[in-house]
Amino acid sequence: MPGYVERNLKAINFLTEQIEEADRELGATAKADPTCRRLMTVPGVGPVTAVRFAGAVDQVERFPNSHALESYVGLVPGENSSSERKRITGLTKAGARKLRWTLIQAAWSARRCRRNDPMVAWALQVEARRGKFVATVALARKMTGILYAIWRDGSTYHANRGSGPVCEPSPP
């Protein structure tokens, strides 16, 4: 094997070990923090999402409601209106870019791993109307509201709460 390939493989192995060690430290940090432990009860939310959410929000009291936090994260549609013309645009993408990305990845994870959860079932109904990507961002926004409520109330995730009337079975 050529020397340059061997050096690259050694560098990759070293970096892989460093990443694994950092992941273990982050997991220990998340488990040691009571807020992060409660946040990780939400499907799709792991140590990375919980710590990043706690770090970006810092004090949940700063936000009067979940909509203010969703706006802060940039998970709300923008508006380009003038006079009587009203036009809704894509996401505002304001605020913490890495947190928004992490929440969307958490939504993808929840969709993949917890398809029977009412929150994910709601997103699948949105997907039928609007498409997979819009539904995933909508799920990330819903998850942001749930994380806000969990932190504010000091509670944990309950699947029967927050799923909305859309997930209830319709009468025959």
What distance in Å separates the CA atoms of residue 22 and residue 34, rounded to the nearest whole number? 20
Contacts of residue 169, defined as CB under 8 A and 6 or more positions apart, other chains included, come to none
**Which pLDDT value is given to residue 1?**
86
**Which pLDDT value is given to residue 160?**
80
H/E run at residue 88 = strand 88-91
The pLDDT tens digits along the chain (172 residues) read 899 999 999 999 999 999 999 999 999 999 999 999 999 999 999 999 999 999 999 999 999 999 999 999 999 888 777 878 877 777 777 878 899 999 999 999 999 999 899 999 999 999 999 999 999 999 999 999 999 999 999 999 988 865 544 333 334 4
**Which pLDDT value is given to residue 54?**
96
Closest residue by Cα to residue 36 from 58, 56, 51:
51
Q: What are the structure tokens assigned to 121, written together?
A: 């079932």
DSSP string over 60-78 = GGG-SSHHHHHHHHT-SEE
**Which pLDDT value is given to residue 82?**
81
The count of other CB atoms within 10 Å of the CB of residue 74 is: 18
pTM of the model: 0.83
Closest residue by Cα to residue 73 from 55, 93, 89:
93
Q: Angle, to 10 degrees, between the axis of helix 47-57 and the axis of helix 3-32? A: 60
**Which pLDDT value is given to residue 96?**
84
What distance in Å separates the CA atoms of residue 46 and residue 39, rounded to the nearest whole number? 8
Q: What are the structure tokens assigned to 52, written together?
A: 């990043």
